[in-house]
Chain A
Amino acid sequence: MWKFFHKLASPPHFYQFAGKIVPWFAVIAIACIGYGGFAGLFVAPADYQQGDAFRIIYVHVPASYLSMMAYSIMAISAGIGLIWRIKLSHAVAAAAAPLGAWFTFLALATGSIWGKPMWGTWWEWGDPRLTSELLLLFLYIGYMALRASIDDIAKADKASAVLALVGVVNVPIIHFSVEWWSSLHQGPTLVREGGPAMAPDMLYPLLAMILGFTFLFGALLLGRVRTEVLYREYRARWVRELLLGDGGTT
């Protein structure tokens, strides 16, 4: 088992392995999102309070869940790369950042769109979830900006890893601080004692969407990591052979 992971840390093996996995993830993602999207939009009954407006949760909830998962993945792999000096780990962190940022943006946009019919405003500062998402977006942008401003890749890896780890400590603190002040956001509807508060017809498409988004993220991440690996290892022979088709003598 360990040998498998050990082998995986080598860029060429990872490249091959990820290449085989991506299509599977993509297929599962399409299937889940297809079912979830269709069922969420057409099959699930309208919410008695919010009408059809609630349907945006089928995008909003997966997006915000994934925005945080992406940050965790980014921070964990950055930490692994920093402590155990595994270059591939840094590549994963670098690849995860823009994906996480886009999911965060999606969560904010859909949250805002959802907010309009619910609260009457496009933006509500008192809502802890929305404000924490905004701060998460700033964390992502700060991470990417720091990476972009350091020319040496190894140095950029290490510096941004420190930043990511500091951010990880900060995210729960931010969330708690905003929540301490009054909130308008509805309580967590999925994870609650006594089971979720949603009817099964509404719930299953949502779970499917979350699963689908996760696999989508996985497929995109692995794809990006492959590209990142090629970019970083461009001098290695296996890359030249791969790209040029034969023993690279160029």
Chain B
Amino acid sequence: MTDTRPLVPSLWSGFVGIVRRDILLAWKRPGDVLNPLFFFAMVSTLFPLALGPSSEQLGSIGPGVIWVAALLAALLSLNSLFVSDFEDGSLDQLLLSPQPLTVLALGKAIGHWMVSGLPLVVISPLVAISFHMPDQSIKVMAVTLFFGTLSLSLLGSIGAALTVGLHRGTALLSLLILPLAMPVLIFGARTVSLSTSDDAVSAGVYFLAAYCMLALTLAPFATAAALRISNE
């Protein structure tokens, strides 16, 4: 009889596997990716429609509106982050794998960002143009959204992990995530506003990057703890 200890794959093998799997799943169900994007675009157009097309007004509310729309779109897509895994038993398998759950949780969040946040960053210039925002603002908007959506995916995964399997988890998820999302929203939107008036934006961008790093390093631990608790 051969005594073969089972090989444990390397630390990041699970991370890469999950990111790859979730991207593949999103590829097979493009609606899941496109729905939040369309939602983002549509919510952004509601405001010009409601408030009238005055150019200066649009330019001044643009950053805020686009950021709120991005936040709402993120909330929409975060809802189902762990739901299908919970329902088909994949979550059990993740919890029982020898890979550290923290790394797997990070993988879920990054995978989610790559199919929801990143596309949003890519189409944000189009929406920004419709708000008559100046060119340098559009760049700043994309950078802030880059860090912002990544932070939202990470922080949102905590909320999604806490509410998976609960009835009416949707509204609760928003309630739990909003306080975490506030600093991102405040800095993101207001930094872009500053850029429209040519003020220095680097401080705001650094803050967003720092908050993102904080989320990157701490959120997976909270998400992993929450997943174990919710799966009981």
Judged by CB atoms under 8 Å, the answer to whether A and B touch is yes
Q: How many residues of A are in contact with the other chain, CB < 8 A?
A: 27
Does residue A84 face the partner (Cβ distance < 8 Å to B)? no
A174 and B180 alpha carbons, distance in the complex (Å) = 8
Does residue B178 face the partner (Cβ distance < 8 Å to A)? yes
Q: Quick check: B229 and A146 within 8 Å, CB to CB?
A: no
User: In chain B, residues 140-193, which have Cβ atoms closer than 8 Å to a Cβ of chain A?
Assistant: 158, 162-163, 166-169, 172, 175-176, 178-180, 182-183, 186-187, 190
Cβ proximity bits A167-182 to B, threshold 8 Å, 1 near / 0 not: 1011001101110110
- Name the residue of chain B whose CB is nearest to the CB of A176: B183
Chain B residue contacts of A244, Cβ below 8 A? none
| Segment of B35-43, B86-94, B110-118, B218-226 engaged in the interface with chain A | B218-226
A146-B182 contact in complex given A155-B232, A159-B229, C-beta closer than 8 Å: no
Does residue B130 face the partner (Cβ distance < 8 Å to A)? no
Q: Quick check: B175 and A177 within 8 Å, CB to CB?
A: no
Chain B residue contacts of A142, Cβ below 8 A? 172, 175-176, 178-179
* A to B contact number (C-beta, < 8 Å): 68
Does residue A113 face the partner (Cβ distance < 8 Å to B)? no
Does residue B211 face the partner (Cβ distance < 8 Å to A)? yes
Q: Quick check: A177 and B183 within 8 Å, CB to CB?
A: yes
Q: Quick check: B222 and A166 within 8 Å, CB to CB?
A: yes
A138 and B182 alpha carbons, distance in the complex (Å) = 11
Chain A residue contacts of B232, Cβ below 8 A? 152, 155
Q: Quick check: A177 and B229 within 8 Å, CB to CB?
A: no
A152 and B172 alpha carbons, distance in the complex (Å) = 17
Does residue B230 face the partner (Cβ distance < 8 Å to A)? yes
Q: Quick check: A146 and B176 within 8 Å, CB to CB?
A: yes
A142 and B176 alpha carbons, distance in the complex (Å) = 5
Q: Quick check: B178 and A178 within 8 Å, CB to CB?
A: no
Does residue A198 face the partner (Cβ distance < 8 Å to B)? no
A174-B166 contact in complex given A145-B172, A155-B232, A181-B190, C-beta closer than 8 Å: no
Q: Quick check: A139 and B179 within 8 Å, CB to CB?
A: yes
Q: Quick check: A165 and B222 within 8 Å, CB to CB?
A: yes
A211 and B108 alpha carbons, distance in the complex (Å) = 47
Partner of B226 from the list A139, A145, A152, A162 (CB cut-off 8 Å) is A162
A138-B178 contact in complex given A162-B226, A169-B218, A173-B211, C-beta closer than 8 Å: yes
Does residue A86 face the partner (Cβ distance < 8 Å to B)? no
A169 and B183 alpha carbons, distance in the complex (Å) = 12
Chain A residue contacts of B163, Cβ below 8 A? 146, 149
Chain A residue contacts of B229, Cβ below 8 A? 155, 158-159, 162
Cβ proximity bits A102-146 to B, threshold 8 Å, 1 near / 0 not: 000000000000000000000000000000000100110110011
- Name the residue of chain A whose CB is nearest to the CB of B180: A170
A170-B179 contact in complex given A150-B166, A159-B162, A162-B222, C-beta closer than 8 Å: yes
Chain B residue contacts of A9, Cβ below 8 A? none
Q: Quick check: A174 and B158 within 8 Å, CB to CB?
A: no
Chain B residue contacts of A150, Cβ below 8 A? 166
Q: Quick check: A159 and B186 within 8 Å, CB to CB?
A: no
Chain B proximity of A33: nearest CB distance (Å): 31
Chain B residue contacts of A180, Cβ below 8 A? 187, 207
Chain A residue contacts of B179, Cβ below 8 A? 135, 138-139, 142, 167, 170, 174
**Chain B residues in contact with chain A, CB under 8 A?**
158, 162-163, 166-169, 172, 175-176, 178-180, 182-183, 186-187, 190, 207, 211, 218, 222, 225-226, 229-230, 232
**Chain A residues in contact with chain B, CB under 8 A?**
135, 138-139, 141-142, 145-146, 149-150, 152, 155, 158-159, 162-163, 165-167, 169-170, 173-174, 176-178, 180-181
A sample of 8 inter-chain contacts (CB < 8 A) reads A135-B182, A149-B167, A155-B232, A158-B229, A165-B222, A166-B180, A173-B211, A174-B179
| Sample of 10 more A-B contacts, CB < 8 Å, known A166-B158, A177-B183, A181-B186 | A135-B179, A138-B178, A142-B179, A146-B162, A146-B163, A149-B172, A152-B232, A155-B232, A174-B179, A181-B190
